[in-house]
Amino acid sequence: MAQADDPAVPQRASQAGASHPSITQAIDYLFNDTHSPWSNILARDNGSWLSDFWHTPLSISAGFRKQALRALDDKTLAGSITFNPHEDWNSRMEAEIKTAGEEMGFRGSDGDPDTPPPGKSCSFRVCDAYAYFYSQYQKGPKCQLFWPEEKRDAAVAACRDWLQAIK
């Protein structure tokens, strides 16, 4: 039997109840009603829970996918990523990601040829952020925030196709 402090218990519970009409309606409200503070998860003051959110089944729920599909069309600026000097990668993260709602560390360039030089700040859009988070936390198509825009556009399109295929 699962223990109450088992981190999988809330996820199993949310998965089991997600198909119930009232739960589906609540999830849809939380992520899509303009009066909900979660209708834009990249907004200021939403950063404290953002990283953890992407690990949960809610990020692939039908209600949130509606928000994500809208966001994948949003090309407004969302933030920046700036790489640290290589010699600091052992003591610090490779880079720092900044959005209106959060600052977080980044690891995972994995020798990508498009990795910018230390100190260079690369802006990214809302659509890129959603594709990146799905790539990192839900095994969506690969996307990096520092890629050239054309390459990110292809990743965003692949993410859209991937999300639309989820039932």
33-57 tens-digit pLDDT: 999 888 888 877 766 677 788 888 8
- Quick count: other Cβ atoms within 10 Å of Cβ 139? 10
- What integer pLDDT is reported at residue 89 of this predicted model? 66
Tell me the C-alpha distance between 152 and 148, whole Å: 6
Q: Using one digit for the tens of pLDDT, what is the confidence trace for 93-106?
A: 888 888 887 788 88
Task: Let me know: does 117 contact 83? Beta carbons within 8 Å.
Answer: yes
HSE (CB half, 13 Å, CA atoms) of 9? 7
Q: Which residues contact 47 (CB under 8 A, 6 or more apart)?
A: 99, 101, 102, 103, 104
Task: Let me know: does 139 contact 55? Beta carbons within 8 Å.
Answer: no
pLDDT band at 132; cut points 50, 70, 90: very high
- Tell me how far the alpha carbon of residue 79 is from its chain's centroid: 13
Tell me the C-alpha distance between 39 and 31, whole Å: 4
Residue 4, token pair as written in the block:
């109450």
Task: Let me know: does 165 contact 142? Beta carbons within 8 Å.
Answer: no
Residue ranges per structural domain of the chain:
20-165
The whole-model pTM stands at: 0.83
